[in-house]
A and B are shown apart, each in its own frame.
Chain A
Amino acid sequence: MIGELIGATVFGLLLLGIHRKVIARIQGRPGPPVWQEILHTLKFSFKESWVPRTASRVLFVGIVLVAIAIWVAAFQVVLAGGSLLILFGIYMLHKIVEHGFGLSSGSPYGKFGGVRSVISAASEIPLFVSIAGIVLLTGSLLISDIEAWQAVHGPLLYALPLAALAMYLVLLSKMPWGPFSIVESKEIVSGYKTEHFGIWRAGLEVCNGLKTSVLLYSFIVVFLGPLPLLWVLLLMLGIQVSLSFACALTPMLAPFDSVTVQSLVAGALLLYFLALGVVL
């Protein structure tokens, strides 16, 4: 268990490094080496660290622990074939964690990032719409049941391509430097994580690595079913590169445009699944 956890964290950081590299190459820059995010984590962990004078000490430190803990929990849920509702609840919880990061430091940039994380919770709406479609078809919320359904009927991707699209949009909304990354855009410095540096940022990097692995792995398990490990790793890499292309080729939306686009997609999908429910 601990081996898988550390492996998932390091692989997630490697995928984030590849994400940066792909974006850089598309934009005509050499970009950092693919293991940059792993080096980044180590670098921050060696640095001198303190808590800003205006910060709430308990929240400032505690939120880093919570950020890592929720993604460890999400990883356990996926591995154990637990409920999609818990998993997607954790995705929502991450927005509250970002909010906590932003508000804990007392920095105006952190606060702006925190407020934007609440606004961008709209990005999770497609997630719940996609759950509706999955339950309609498979009759269960348990990942293990969904895997068993796919073993008989084939991948959910073919049966519910629009649910997969909704989930893909959620993945895109959680990728850094993407069209929906309003919580950490440059006009608010680094957004919610502006003041978390040194070992606190290293902790956040651990969280991000694990988050990336969980997001991609859960997408594969839910929409493609159980696969051999090598295939899972290759597919994670493939999906990550496709997300990197999407991030590199689309400009970052303004906060309200970001919410509007995601809400419109969720609304369209809701209508589709309502129609599907009537037909089924």
Chain B
Amino acid sequence: MEKTAALGIAIACGAAMGLASVGAAAGRVPPVLAGGVLILAFPVGALALFRWWCAGEGEEDIPFLGY
């Protein structure tokens, strides 16, 4: 369920970035707005994509405390 949601977020972010880029290239979207979409959507889209294809979640652990 969580992986499906992550894929949905990744696709939504990809679509938003694609539309913003094409719109800016065609002069229909102001470059500042397109840049803003990229700033917000690129990090979220990248992490959502990684979240979708990564291996299953493990149990949380205490931090690394030395050898």
Contacts and interface: CB of A to CB of B under 8 A. Distances in A.
Contacts of B21: 1-3
B47 A5 contact: no
Contacts of A144: none
Interface residues of A, number: 40
Interface string B32-65: 0011001110111011011101111111111111
Nearest to A80: B31
Interface string A41-58: 000011111111111000
A45 B54 contact: yes
B51 A106 contact: no
Contact of A69 (B24, B39, B54): B39
B50 to A, nearest CB: 4
A223 interface: no
- State the majority secondary structure of interface residues on B: helix
A116 B65 CA distance: 18
Chain B contact residues (Cβ within 8 angstroms of A): what range? Answer: 20 to 34
Given A47-B55, A51-B60, A72 B42 contact: yes
B38 A2 contact: yes
19 contacts: A1-B17, A1-B20, A1-B25, A46-B54, A47-B55, A48-B54, A48-B57, A49-B55, A52-B63, A54-B63, A65-B47, A66-B43, A69-B42, A189-B64, A194-B63, A195-B63, A199-B50, A203-B47, A206-B46
Interface of B: 17-18, 20-21, 24-25, 31, 34-35, 38-40, 42-44, 46-47, 49-51, 53-65
Interface of A: 1-3, 5, 45-55, 61, 64-69, 72-73, 76, 80, 105-110, 189, 194-195, 198-199, 202-203, 206
